Structures are given as C-alpha cells and as structure tokens.
Structure 1
C-alpha cells in the first residue's frame, strides 16, 4: 500500500487553495478516468475566440467540489443535518458529474457515440469506479441518479442554481475574459438553506440570484453560443461524420486506436460494456487534434479541407439572425458549392448547413429556484424578483444560423 500523503491541496486561480477532504476523493482524483479530464477542454472550441479559454474539465470538477465543501459547511452552520457519509457522497457526485464528457466537451457528444448523453456515460464510469472501490461510491451514485430521499442533495448537484453552474460561470468568465459572466459564488452559497429537504435561498440573496441568472444568459450569447466557436464545433462534428463514413466503407484513416474504434463502430448506450468504456476513457482532445493534423493531407477533399480549416482557424462563414433560414437559401449556397468545388449534392452538405440556437436564463417549467421569505413562506423566484416581473430572463430566445464557405461571401 502506498504511503503517499493523500490530504493535499490544489492552488486554484479562482478560489485560492482547494483541499482534498479525504483519501477516497484523493484516490478518485488519481484514477486514470479522472486524470483524463486534464485533456478535455471545458469550453470546447471557444479558445478560437477567447485565447485564454484553455482550461479543462479537471479544473472545473475540482472547483465544483470546492463549492460543495463550502455549501455543506454553510448548511451545517444553519443546523441542516448532513452526515459524514452524505457529505462524502455529495463531494464524490459533484467531483465526477462531468467524467463522461468526450473530447472538446459538448462539441462531439453526438459524433463519437450514437444518441448517448454525457451524463449517461458519467453514470457508467461512476458505476465501474464503484466496483473498483468496493462500493464506496454507492451513496454518491444514488444521489446522482435522484434516488436518495433527501432531495436537496441532488439540487446541489443538478438544478437551476447548483454548484456545477456556479463554478463554470465563474471559471469560464475568468479564463475567457468575459467579465459579464462573473458571479458572487460566496454570497450565493451563504444564502443557501434547506426546508423540508428542499433547497431554498434566503430572500436577502435575491439580487445575487438575479445577477447569477443574468450572467448565465450573457455567457451563453457571448461565449458558449458565440458564432465563431459555434461554427468551429459544427465543423468538428462534420469532420467526424465524414471520417466515420470513410472508415465504414473500408478507408483506413491515420488516428489513435481509441478514435479508430469509434469511427469503425456505431456505439449506442446498450453496447457500453467494460471494453467499450475503456476505449471511451482513453479518448481525449489530443486524439482529435492529432487526427485533424494527419487528415489535412488526406486524398478525400471534404476530410482534408475541413481539417485544414479547423487547424488554421480559417472557418466557414456563419450568419446568425432572428429570422428563419429558408430552404431556398441553403439550396442556393449548396448549388454554388457544387459548382466551385466540383462536389455532389450530398458532399455539398458538409460545407453548407443551417440550424438554430436557443437561450433561456430561467426555465419556469423546470424545478424552480425557491426563495425563503422572512415570514418563513416559500415562493418561486418568479414572484420575488423585480427582474422577473419584466419577463426579461424568462423568454426563450431563438436565433437561426446558416454556414457556408467564405469564398461564396466574396462573390
């Protein structure tokens, strides 16, 4: 047995020192499944817009765990009973909540595997870790799945005001330089409370909640849905789609073994056995980047062209507007692409496509943010907030985009 000191600290640029609370958490952080998150970017392709946005899921997971430690401390101070086992379950669940992310986070979620969400993969990886750690993650998995009777524990991990969102907004704002996303996580956590096993916020924290929701709305428009990072991620999914097509008709593409496995196989959730999970856990951003570099010189025009465009940040043109993009406009651009590059109609779809993006700061249909008023009554933040009376943060905003080669815009 290793005599390593397991009660270490990390120096984090956001919060200062983050402590590892126990040996289980240390061993989980040391596990290859978790160390892989050092090689998964937190903001996908956003570094093409914001050069500082090179932070990883590893950073984020540790930050979210640190906020959970603070939340447990605050709730205990307010006489909310949380046992040592429940505390460990909360810390483990938030630490591992993103462990199932694929390369470039959300960018390739539907390209590497078929119709499998990263939370489903996180759960599969957690269950395998639980087997390796002799059942020590059982309560954490129960909380993560929403099967534990104390509902506030799941709300701390996944809700409209959870430790995950608090960390990624503050962290992504810091690394990208988008100041509008910065939030006061300390204030928000100090306002936490629990009533009848439901998470609530003290009424005096209402302005911090409004700031949090506004910051989330602005971060989506300015960072996560920025048109340049959007088109880069779309192009990345197109590259993987083309690579899969070529591989499955017998073309052998130079790439890593884990990536080759997923190019060769259409893998759905039910097929994720131990072997497939091990292949997925070996896959990270570096597999994709090294493949793109190799594919730049491939004989297939689509694969080489898209790979070169991403590597050199010479991306497709993207127009975003409030109006729907007509089929006629798409067809017109595709016809021009067919002429300019001598492509078939099917091949032109790799260079011209449309879609839509949505942004909503607060979903009134989802589980509400509950406000504990001074008279001990509880109401939805909708009823308490002046901001929400204007409906500004409730509205689902939909925008439409079309992507096409820059050469067509110059014509």
Structure 2
C-alpha cells in the first residue's frame, strides 16, 4: 500500500538529517530504478585500498539532492526568483543524475556496454520514469539536458562546480578517511550567486569572498583523484575486473557455458549500443536489473570455471591477489613492456592468453578546465563592482592555473606470480 506520509527524513552520516522535500521526490526515491543504486558502490574498487569506501550511489544521490536544496535557498535569499516547480524539478534532476551507472560505477562503463555513457542511460531511464509518472519529470529532464532557458539550473546539476561534485568529494572523504580532500561545501553554497551573461541569461557565479573556498575545492579534487580515484591499487583491481569480463565474453562467443544472472548474460553475449537501448525497451529493463551483486556472484562461480584463465583471474579477485603495477610520468619504454611479458611467459602462460594478465593504460587528471577548454561551465567569480572573471584569472595563486594542466601517468600492471605460487 502506498505511504500517505511522504515527508520522510534520512539520517545521513555526512550532513545529518536530510528531508524529502515533496511527494514527487519521495515517489522517485521509492522507484525501483532509484532503489537499484543501493546495490552500486560509489567508488568501484576503492574498497581494496580504503576498507570504509563501501557507500553507494544511493547515498550520493540523496546527498546531492540535499545540497541542491541548500543552493536554491541561498540563491532565493539573494533575491533571485525560483519557482516551486523549478526547485522541485532541479532536485529531481540531481537525484536521478546517476541512474545510468552500471556495476562498479565507472569501472565497467565501456566493458559491459559498447561505448554507452552513463549520462545517456540516465536520460533514458528518466524518460521512462517520466512516461510512468505522466510527464511529471518533463522540466527536470530539460534541466538535466541543458535545454531549459535558465542555464544555471543545468550548471547546478552538471558543471565544474555542481552539487554532484560537492557531494562526492564530501562523501568520499568521509568514507575513505582521506581528510585532506575535505571541502567547505557549506561556505561555497552560501557564496553562490547569479549574473547575466552576454545573452542576458542567468549564469552561476561565486562571490569574490568565496575565492579561497574555491581554491581549496579545486586542490581537494586534484588530491582525491590521485589519492583515491586513480590510486595505483584501484587501477590494478579495475584492470583485473575488466580482463575477467573480457575473458567471459570471449568464452561465450566461442560457445562455452559461462553461468551468470540473466541480465549479465545478456550484456556479455551482445554488444549493446545506445541505439539498441533506444529501440529495444527490453535492454533498458535488463540494465535496470544489473548491479554489483551480479558481478560478484559471477566471480564466485567463475573462480571454479574449467577455463583456467577465467578461474585464475576470479580467484585472484576474491583473495585480493592483485596485479603489480609500474607508474611513470613518461610513456613506458618498450623494453619495460617486453620485460613484463617475459615474466608472464616464464609463468608458462601461453602467448594467446598473455593479454588477460597484463594491462597498460594512461591515468589523466585535470582538476580544473579553464574557460578556453570548458566553454560554458567554467567557474566564474563575481566581484563587488559587478565584474565577472574565470577563477583561473581571478585567483592570485599561480597554482590554480597549474591545475588546468592535464597530468598524465602511464602504467602497466600484470600478474607477477601464478595463483598457486602466491603466498
């Protein structure tokens, strides 16, 4: 029976009590698509590094909705007209912005699916809910897409200073224990304002007295990427997960039985594209049933699979026998890769199986994209005289300009020892 009391309160460990602001938001939280986010971890494989990193996309979405409510209050307090319909719509949009994440969030985004970005799937799922709710999300979808005539709402949802980033930095710091990544979200939100752009449309800006908080925000984001999101151990665990999924897909393509849940089996056996999702509703429904548990259940089963490659990789994951890694600021010399391959050959791994036990890549991080690269979502500072400037130009810290540089780290990771030799 549907609840008659929809003014619920969540006790959030990061912000304290979070209130569900409307009946629509309550119904969205209760929807099966949103409840699925309870079963998708926010930080993918980071729990292999930080044991406390077990929070989910469900936590994050509620937190982002809470911060959005605070941002709207701050803007209203400065005399900006925001209707109740706009307030509800932008909170609904940020609440649902991560619906399209698959198992382990970003890790398998381009492995299970065929180049389908999670934001595209979020939009399809929002449209599906909108049909079910009789058009109640039409305004929220316009804000999410960036087609609404007041562009600052889209900036609050998706930009370089949005409520998404505000929450995940706060929340990921809390659950990993990386205190250096702490940001002053409350102060930043209180410093938000609006200013007219060249087209006389309201753009999101930050009052000049909030510059120090923005500088801290950008530095914290840079630190969190290298210390958490792109941690070398996480890179190894992610590489192993990608390789075992690759092996499972290969075996299925050869006609070998690889038991898994119906939803996972569907995406392992077919290269589903965005066009497939748009034209075949059954794919979207199957995706809405897919979560971390499908993958872990499969890994447990596959660890005893007759195929030794799949079984080996899965057993390593279950026992945390992770790949080793070499990181470099420069592209790795060919000799380094050849040496790693020779190590694998000495483990009696056949040449046609080597690719499953070695993975190379590039980890990139730019804490801030200046106005030239970002085009419309750069962080703008508003001075008392009304002048508006990019944070990179407004800040007197030379480090802010340096944060706009894309930093690349090259790596190769591999299975150093056969499983039966691991201690």
- TM (norm. structure 1) is 0.97
The answer as to 2:267 corresponding to 1:262 is yes
C-alpha separation between the residues in 1 aligned to 2:340 and 2:74?
Answer: 57
C-alpha separation between the residues in 2 aligned to 1:239 and 1:107?
Answer: 13
Counterparts of 1:13-162 in structure 2 under 5 Å? 13-162=13-162
Greater displacement, 240-249 / 126-135? 240-249
Residue 353 to residue 328, structure 1, CA distance change in 2 (3 Å): farther
The answer as to 2:381 corresponding to 1:374 is no
The answer as to 2:397 corresponding to 1:387 is yes
Select which of 357, 360, 369 maps to 2:366.
360
C-alpha separation between the residues in 2 aligned to 1:389 and 1:350?
Answer: 40
Across the aligned residues of Structure 1 and Structure 2, the Cα RMSD in angstroms comes to: 1.4
Counterparts of 1:208-287 in structure 2 under 5 Å? 208-272=213-277, 273-287=280-294
Where does residue 304 of structure 2 map in the other structure? 297
C-alpha separation between the residues in 2 aligned to 1:340 and 1:14?
Answer: 47
Greater displacement, 389-398 / 148-157? 389-398
Structure 1: state its 5+ residue gaps.
Answer: none
C-alpha separation between the residues in 2 aligned to 1:45 and 1:301?
Answer: 23
Where does residue 306 of structure 1 map in the other structure? 313
1:51-87 deviations in Å (ceiling 9; x for gaps): 0000000000000000000000010010111111111
Report the CA distance between 1:3 and its aligned residue.
4.2
Structure 2: state its 5+ residue gaps.
Answer: 197-201
| 1:399 counterpart SS class | strand
Contact 1:330 1:352 in 2 (8 A): no
| 1:161 counterpart SS class | coil
Where does residue 337 of structure 2 map in the other structure? 330
| 2:147 counterpart SS class | coil
C-alpha separation between the residues in 2 aligned to 1:60 and 1:243?
Answer: 31
Figure out how many residues of one structure are paired with residues of the other and give that number: 408
C-alpha separation between the residues in 2 aligned to 1:386 and 1:342?
Answer: 56
C-alpha separation between the residues in 1 aligned to 2:393 and 2:40?
Answer: 40
Report the CA distance between 1:18 and its aligned residue.
0.4
Report the CA distance between 1:390 and its aligned residue.
6.4
1:94-122 deviations in Å (ceiling 9; x for gaps): 00000100000001101111010000000
Report the CA distance between 1:327 and its aligned residue.
3.1
Greater displacement, 204-213 / 230-239? 230-239
Residue 229 to residue 60, structure 1, CA distance change in 2 (3 Å): same
C-alpha separation between the residues in 2 aligned to 1:37 and 1:65?
Answer: 14
Residue 390 to residue 166, structure 1, CA distance change in 2 (3 Å): closer
Report the CA distance between 1:288 and its aligned residue.
0.4
| 1:286 counterpart SS class | helix
Contact 2:93 2:144 in 1 (8 A): yes
Report the CA distance between 1:389 and its aligned residue.
6.0
